[in-house]
Amino acid sequence: MINNLDNMMTAGGESLSLRDPLLMILVGESGAGKSAFCDFVNRPEEYFSSSEAIERKLEEDGQPINHDTVHAFATEAYGENPEWQVPNILGKLATRNFLILDGPRRLAEVEALRRNHQNTLIVRLTAPKEDRYKRLQQRDGVDAEVFDRIIHDERSETELGQILKMADQVIDNDKTLEDFKQKALEVQHLLDSLEEKK
């Protein structure tokens, strides 16, 4: 696990700036613990969810919010414009010292963010498949059939696999919840340290 600011603030072998706003892109398969990680870091004002705008649009249209409706909307929206969320993400980042982006699934979006904001760190969360299934089952009521469909969609209809390979840092979520919480609190401390260095 990352245990100091210098180690964490490295992307592509290069040191990131301590003066410019930091964009932390949090990536991982469904159920890896991204939402829990953000809850533990507990910086809601510095948080941007890739699915938030999608869920808001579905609510406006009176549609249910589940894997199938979110996936269908995302496929259409990103098909029309792969970078449609980028201006909103960078706009929110511009008013903060750092921003955590939770869960992008499209390669063009991540590449555009890194191209337009070099002070970007991609952090991957990993977890065993059986643990991911249990979490989604408890959180969203997902059964085995839906979980298999989620895995299929992530692998064949998004570019998540390519994004995961771009990770600058990896955090494993393969032990207890308390262990995972401690890792998140370490990142919280590092982000607090980053603000102190401004």
Q: Looking at the DSSP assignment, which residues form a beta bridge with residue 65?
A: none
Give pLDDT, residue 63: 94
Give pLDDT, residue 16: 72
37 lies in some domain: yes
34 lies in some domain: yes
Give pLDDT, residue 79: 92
104 lies in some domain: yes
171 lies in some domain: yes
The number of folded domains in the chain is: 1
> Looking at residue 137, which CATH number applies to its domain?
3.40.50.300
Give pLDDT, residue 19: 73
80 lies in some domain: no
What is the full per-residue pLDDT of the chain (198 aa) written as tens digits?
Answer: 444 455 666 676 667 766 789 999 999 999 999 999 999 999 999 999 988 889 999 999 999 999 899 999 999 999 999 999 999 999 999 999 999 999 899 999 999 999 999 899 999 999 999 999 999 999 999 999 999 999 999 999 899 999 999 999 999 999 999 999 999 999 998 888 776 665
- In 3D space, the residue among 130, 81, 71, 135 whose CA is nearest the CA of residue 103 turns out to be 71
**Tokens 């963010």 -> residue:** 113
59 lies in some domain: no
5 lies in some domain: no
Task: Give every CB contact of residue 45 below 8 A, 6+ residues apart in sequence.
Answer: 96
Give pLDDT, residue 4: 46
Q: What is the spatial distance between Cα 125 and Cα 147, in angstroms, rounded to a whole number?
A: 18
Are 104 and 110 in contact by the 8 Å Cβ rule? The answer is: yes
Q: Which domain holds residue 39?
A: 21-53+86-196
68 lies in some domain: no
Q: Tell me 168's DSSP state.
A: S
Element holding 125 (H helix, E strand): strand 120-126
